[in-house]
Structure 1
Amino acid sequence: MALLPQTPPPVGSHNSPSGLHLPDIDDDEPLVELLRQLSEYLVEAIDAPHTFEQLRTASVGHILRPLIHYLTDRCHHPDIISALLILKWQFAAGERDDRGIHESRGYACEIVAWRFLAHLTDDELIEYLLHELPSVTSGPSGEEVDPDEDNSRGNASGRNADDGNEAERAGLLWGGRPMTDPPQAAVKRTASSSAEEEPLSSFVGLNALEIAAVANAKQFLSQNVVQKIVDDIWNGRIIFWESLSVHSKKKAKIYDTRRADPYCRLRVPKYQKGFEALFFALFLVLYYAVLVERKPEQFGFVEGLLYVWIAAFAYDEFGEFQDAGSSFYATDFWSLWDLGIIGIGFAYMISRVIGLVDNNAHTTDVALDILSLEAIFLLPRVCSLLSLIPFFGTLIPCLKEMTKDFVKFLGIVVILFCAFLTTFTMLARGEFTANEMLWIMINLMLCFVVLSNILLLTSLIAILSQVFTKVMDHAREEYLYQYSVFVLEASASRRLTYYFPPLNLIPLLLFRPLRICLPSEQIRSARIVLLKVTHFPYIVGIWIYEELNGLMNIWQSASISQKRLNYAGNYQAAPRSLRKPNLRSRSEASIPKTPGSGGRTSLGFHEADIAAILRRVDERMATLERKVDQLST
């Protein structure tokens, strides 16, 4: 949706102290109208480039303060955070000048969203950050979607917060306004609405945190109030599923051990990533076993297991793509590696089958050579959990940005190579063919690169150094952005019955044919039963881990309490002279007296006044001492 031009303020709008027209947002405001009002205020308020730090300080931040106060005091729209982050994405997409004004407006969106969150309670934080933008034509919100069905988050099937009747009355972006315009105006308005809704369709079904990842709102995601929610999702203190039943719905809430189904712990991102690492480790073992054994003429049991692992991983990745949608899926750094593993794995499987069927030794050898390439993607993917460590998590975005600039730089080398190849091919016509000249040029190009490394390599190092410095200047934001995407990618699924690979192939082979003759509720119930049977060992492992972790926390708490009691006991046993200095005696001794002055000191004060002051000091100290003793106890 293009940024809307400024229009006169609507009736009932409010003015800020700076003269800007504050938005007038109702709780049921359509998303397009919400975006329009916020966009108008930000466009009017920010007309010069500013950095994020400037906008968050008092020197420039006063521009945003009226909007923050208005949203905090009067706005209760559930999509307000999502709207601000969508505007961040729109301003970034609309950056066409070199002044950086749109970038500043994007920073303003992040700051307003962050300051708004700072005034919320924990329950409100969960509601605003994890509320998903509803769609129009899908089923009820949170209803489990069969992974074999179309549940793409970017399309209307699989996302909705209202029932079917409400969906018929109200659209996502128009809110069910009556068609009171003339027919021609209605047609124009409908066309305009469709043009505005089309870019926003990719955000349907995403919550505010996922929209922040898509919008590259790294400053917003790095704030402590946001990271607290991300950490709670990672550790399972915030869950999206509380029970396993046919009518369960996805809704973020605080985990309650007394009410939640133990099998819902399978959806905790920390456990999902742990079992994923185990899956990749076994994947790597099978990979090495097949290549080391290397039997081109035979098809063994281990190779069959490798086929199962590749198929299960591909099916699981397809389900993740459907759950996350293309926009959010592309933000995950490891998605490219997963696609590489799947592509090479299927190329190996196809060529291997062709070689065995045709009894062609050459094709079989080529298949095993293709499988050898799998290590390029598989080994780094096994170590993907290292990205949770800040040191490695910071290096990943550095390598990502440096690779982009390196690929751009290679364009210059390719252009020079093609120029020389064309020239020498024309000069050598009749003596060398084009293929022969190509091989000659490859050798010459190597010599050219070696001889010209002072120019090319120095330029490349300078470019990459600038990229590295730019990323390292925002190392914390970059790491927390990667960490947030890592966590949200594991919690994005809308499937109630999530099977870990390679067990995910069982429902695919067992229940997909039954969809023809059985209703969806019976299939869903059967999937729940199958999940509890097949994933019981996982639940036992999770239960043991949480029990040991709970005992460890109790032991640490007891150890800290014992240290406090020992400290309190030592404090009580200490002599009073060591616990509190005798202020009275020390004060009286330090005040010189003048002989024959009628009880006055050399400073002109009566001894009785000084004694009264010292008594009040002693009383205050005694009161403070009692409070300290109570706190120590």
Structure 2
Amino acid sequence: MPIRVKLKKVPKPREPSPGPSNYVYVDLPEIREGDSFRDVIKALSRYFTAVITLPHTLEQLRTSAAGSELRSLVDHLALNCSNPTIVNALLALKWHYGADGKTRDLSTARAYACEIVAWRFLSRLSEREAVDYCLYEIPELDLPDPIPETIQEEFSFEHSPLLPHSNGSHGRRTMTTTVSSVKRGQLLQSLSRLTASFNIEEGQEEEEEDPTAPFRGLNALEIAAISNSKQFLAQGVVQKILTAIWNGDIVFWDQLSVYATKKPRYYNPATADPFCRLRVPKYLKIWEIFFFLMFMALYYTVLVERDIEVITGTEYILYILLGAFLYDEISAWRDAGSIFYTSDIWNLFDMIMIILGITFAVLKNIGIYTHTPEAVEVAFDIFALEALFMVPRICSFLSLSPYWGTLIPCFKEMAKDFVKFMILVIIVYCGFLTTFSLIGRNSFTFSRMTMILTKIFFGSSGTGIEIMDDIDPVFGPPLMLLFICLSSFLLTGSLTGMLSNSFSRVITQAREEYLFVYSIYVLEASTSNRLTHFLPPFNLVSFFIFRPLRFFFHSETKFRAGRIALLKITHAPVVGAIMLYESLRRRNAQDEFAGFKGPSFNQEDTLRPSHGQGSTGDGKSSRVNDMASKIDRLTLIILNMQEKEDEYRQQLQREKEEREKREAKEKEEREQKEAKEKEEREKREAKEKEEREQSEAKEKEEKETKEREEKERKAKKEQQDREEKEKKEQEEREAREKKEQEEKAEKERKEQQEKEEKQKKEQEEREAKVKKEQEEKEKREQEEKKKREQEEKEKKEQEEKEKREQEEKEKREQEEQAKKEQEAKEDDDQKPSDE
């Protein structure tokens, strides 16, 4: 039987969406190899300003069509540009756009674009080329911009990977000029002046000084750390470079001699000076941990002994380590610069520990020499505070671990949000404290009320409920319940949620945060410009020997030679331990091609055998033959890659020409379409205008009729409402008058009753007053009577006393008279007997 087939009509092809009418093609920046850092920044700034005109997120620029122009820029830079300052300029612009607060969203999008282009550009390069671009330091003003050269050509005697690639040369900092004095404000100001003038013609640019001068001596990784380019530093190619610096595979000093210069190099154990391994960040961190543990042990020993009479030997050792600690921190500030030094919060802990230690030493010595035990006790109390910063300092060593390196940034962000939130808590607390202190001032003192509210805030709600009636019977309970609800539920819940959000915000970028902290430490440890770096406490030996000699000798060469000799004498055991560790590690290494160093061969192993010679069965010769065949295969691969690269360039050129033609054609079609649409729009607008006028006239008549009816209905309703209102007011007036009469009668009755009670009370008061006066009168009379009787009695006693005295006087006179008579009589009797 026949088969019936139902066909569906094919839809018409959809017209393409029209592009923006104001689209303008932006030429890619032309950056020549000899262009200065200033010219590169201007060229890139013009391009980003023209391309990024709308706010975008990082993910949109990475994954959507919004970042198509960035991909074109990366292709252009990778194929046509070899200027060594490209990455430096991109990261410097990232910092500039990120700090621009005028157009925040747009500037943030441009900052993301700079960072994306920087890491994508590095991903197109080989490992050695990436090292050259990342570690290229912008040369000083007095040095010409060098032409790139390869590390392979410069150090032809070193062993390197099989296929070396050319890389940019590295500028170097002079020994007298460092970046320690370069501040963030100077860098930002210089970039602002530079990017603000990008639209000025070259012939009109006449500046007194180069605005890029503050960037002299910085490499791309340092600028990335300053600009918080966490996504850039987290890329695999950048982390591979940082890990190589951390492990010492990339070194900045390979010789410890008077004429040695700082320059990034690949470490070669056969030719490098062993004492240069003292500059490896990994070994510096190990020594820092050892020194810190020794300092902590002495700290606890001094606190446990607590000798307040003399300075013990342990304290003398502690003072030496404290001085070495201080000198090492000052050297770190000068070497890394204030930018990197202040980027690490643990350096702030170190300075606080040093200040507390110096305060302890000064106070204790003053107390001992002045015989003041109180000063010594205060010194030990202050020294005990150092544990608040010393024990958490252990976290700085744990931060190199991915787990702890993630938690510590989370804790820092939570602490920042907690401090901000506590400002709100203090404001609310002060308001309630003022209210409760004034309301309950008769029952509670200010200090006691402060302690009560503090207990309530920390969860002791029962304390507030118990005393809320004692504060004030009326206002106390509602205010206390309000404070308890605020502190126990609203503020505590808000704080918990905010801290949880802070933790989630940081933990989502855990890898970037950890790698940023790791990068900061590696750069801080590797940016020193000094040839000789003394580890503490050996740095004090150098300080006390060479600092005084600078006043008498001024030969820099001799001083460097002397410092090198002292370094080798004092650090020989440390270098010996490092060499032993590295020899054991190389012996146990499983992959000799890992890292940046490349394989290690002898000169005999690198000789190419003749193809006619067969294998002798020797394992070494077979490996050389295999290596030669690999070299041949890789050479063919490179040639094929070069051919593909040429084809790719031609394809890009063809695509560019086709795009220009297509854009011109689209522009012409768009103009014709716009003219046609304009005519149709004018006709449609005229017709709509006529219809609108007719509709408006009709609507106006209907509206007038409706308004007239509404007005009549409203007038009638107002009349009824007015009558009802008058009737209601009449009833209310009558009820009010009746109520006023009743209130007046009641008031008169109460006034009469109060008047009678008042008269009765006054009568009782008068009677009581008269009675009281009568009693007081009788009492006074009684007292006067008693007084008169007392006076009469005293008078009588006085008379009796005088009478007795008179009688006694007469009696004495009689006795004296009798005595005189008796004596006279005895005298008379004596005379005859004598005769």
Query: Relative to structure 1, is the Cα distance of residues 396 and 298 closer, same or farther in structure 2, using a 3 angstrom cutoff?
Result: same
User: Residues 123 and 18 from structure 1, CA distance in 2 versus in 1: closer, same or farther, beyond 3 angstroms?
Assistant: farther
Q: How does 1:470-619 map to 2 (within 5 A)?
A: 470-518=505-553, 519-553=555-589
Query: More helix by proportion, 1 or 2?
Result: 2
**CA distance in structure 1 between the aligned counterparts of 2:451 and 2:32, rounded to whole angstroms:** 67
Distance 1:42 1:535, change over 3 A: same
Whole-angstrom CA distance in 2 between matches of 1:426 and 1:506:
65
CA 1:27–1:377 in 2, change beyond 3 Å: closer, same or farther? same
Question: How far is the alpha carbon of 1:121 from its aligned partner?
Answer: 2.2
Change (3 A) 1:138 1:380: farther
Matched with 1:587 is none
Identity across the alignment (%):
44
CA distance in structure 2 between the partners assigned to 1:46 and 1:137 by the alignment: 36
Aligned letter for 1:463? M
Report the CA distance shift for 1:344/1:137 in structure 2 as closer, same or farther (over 3 A): farther
Deviations 1:531-571 (A, max 9, x none): 000000100110111111112215999xxxxxxxxxxxxxx
Deviates further, 373-382 or 313-322: 373-382
Kept in 2, the 8 Å contact 1:143–1:249? The answer is no
Question: How far did 1:426 drift?
Answer: 7.4
Establish whether residue 134 from structure 1 lines up as the match of residue 139 from structure 2.
yes
On the 8 A contact 2:433/2:450 being kept in 1, the answer is yes
Helix, strand or coil at the partner of 2:550 = helix
Q: Which letter does structure 2 place at the counterpart of 1:223? A: Q
Q: Secondary structure at the match of 2:411?
A: helix
Spell out the pairing of 1:193-232 with structure 2 (5 A cutoff): 196-197=211-212, 201=214, 203-232=215-244
8 Å contact from structure 1 (residues 233, 487) kept in 2: yes
CA contact (8 A) 1:355 1:361 kept: yes
- Amino acid corresponding to residue 134 of structure 2 in structure 1: L
The one-letter amino acid of 1:316's match is: D
| 3-state SS of paired residue (2:399) | helix
Partners of 2:238 and 2:457 lie apart in 1 by 52
Q: How far apart, CA to CA, are the structure 2 residues paired with 1:308 and 1:144?
A: 32
Residues 200-256 of structure 1: per-residue CA shift (max 9 Å, x gap):
72x442221111111111110111011100110111100000101111111111101
Letter in 1 for 2:496: I
Name the SS of the counterpart of 2:393 in structure 1: helix
Q: For 2:387, which of 375, 379, 390 is the aligned residue?
A: 375
Residue 49 of structure 2 is aligned to residue 43 of structure 1:
yes
| TM-score, scaled relative to structure 2 | 0.57
- Output the amino acid matched with 1:536: A
**Which secondary structure does the structure 2 equivalent of 1:525 belong to?**
helix
Alpha carbons of structure 1 residues 548 and 309: separation in structure 2 relative to 1, 3 Å: same
Cα distance in 2, alignment partners of residues 284 and 349 from structure 1: 16
| Aligned equivalent of 2:707 | none
Structure 1: 4+ residue segments shifted above 4 A: 137-145, 149-152, 417-432, 554-557
Match of 1:66 in 2: 72
Task: State the Cα distance separating 1:116 from its structure 2 match.
Answer: 0.9
Q: CA deviation at 1:21?
A: 2.6
Instruction: Tell me by how many angstroms 1:124 deviates.
Output: 1.7
CA distance in structure 2 between the aligned counterparts of 1:522 and 1:144, rounded to whole angstroms:
18
**1:56: Cα distance to partner?**
1.9
User: What is aligned with 1:596?
Assistant: none
Give the total of aligned pairs: 505
1:510-548 residue CA offsets vs partner (Å, 9 max, x unmatched): 101111221121111100000000000100110111111
Separation in 1 of the partners of 2:384 and 2:506?
34
Offset of 1:96 from its aligned partner? 4.2
Q: CA RMSD in A?
A: 3.1
Please list the CA deviations of residues 74-109 of structure 1 after superposition, one character each: whole Å capped at 9, or x if unmatched. 2222221111111111111014456x2222211111
Q: Confirm or deny: 8 A CA contact 1:321 1:329 kept in the other structure.
A: yes
Q: Name the residue aligned to 1:75.
A: 81
CA distance in 1, matches of 2:172, 2:44: 29
Pick from 296, 303, 309: which aligns with 2:315?
Answer: 303
In the TM superposition, residue 428 of structure 1 has moved relative to its aligned partner by 9.2
Please tell me whether Structure 1 or Structure 2 has the larger radius of gyration of its CA atoms: 2
Query: For the residues of structure 2 that align with 1:556 and 1:36, how far apart are their CA atoms?
Result: 44
Report the counterpart of residue 324 of structure 1 in structure 2. 336
Give the 3 Å change call, closer, same or farther, for CA 101–343 of structure 1 in structure 2.
Answer: same
Within the alignment, does 1:268 sit opposite 2:303 as a pair?
Answer: no
Write the distance in 2 (CA, Å) between the matches of 1:33 and 1:213: 23
* Contact 1:337/1:381, CA 8 A, preserved across alignment: yes
208-217 or 375-384: which moved more?
A: 375-384
Shift, 1:430, TM fit: 12
Q: Does 1:57 align with 2:51?
A: no
State how far apart, in whole Å, the 2-side matches of 1:260 and 1:152 are: 27
> In structure 2, what is the Cα distance between the partners aligned to 1:252 and 1:399?
36
1:92 has 2:101 as partner: no
Inter-partner Cα distance in structure 1 for 2:547 and 2:143: 21
Question: How far did residue 24 of structure 1 move?
Answer: 2.2
Output the CA distance in 2 between the equivalents of 1:303 and 1:255.
Answer: 42
Residues 425/34 of structure 1: CA separation in 2 closer, same or farther (3 Å cut): farther
1:278 corresponding residue in structure 2: 290
Could you tell me whether the CA contact under 8 Å between 2:172 and 2:217 is conserved in 1? Answer: no
Contact 2:336–2:525 (Cα < 8 Å) also in 1:
no
Out of 217, 235, 248, the position equivalent to 2:247 is: 235
- Please name the residue that 1:115 is paired with: 120
Change beyond 3 A, Cα 1:440–1:357: farther
- Cα gap change, 1:135 to 1:410, in 2 (>3 Å): farther
Instruction: Identify the structure with bigger relative contact order (alpha carbons < 8 Å, sequence gap 6+).
Output: 1
- Structure 1 residues 298 and 119, CA gap change in structure 2 (3 angstroms): same
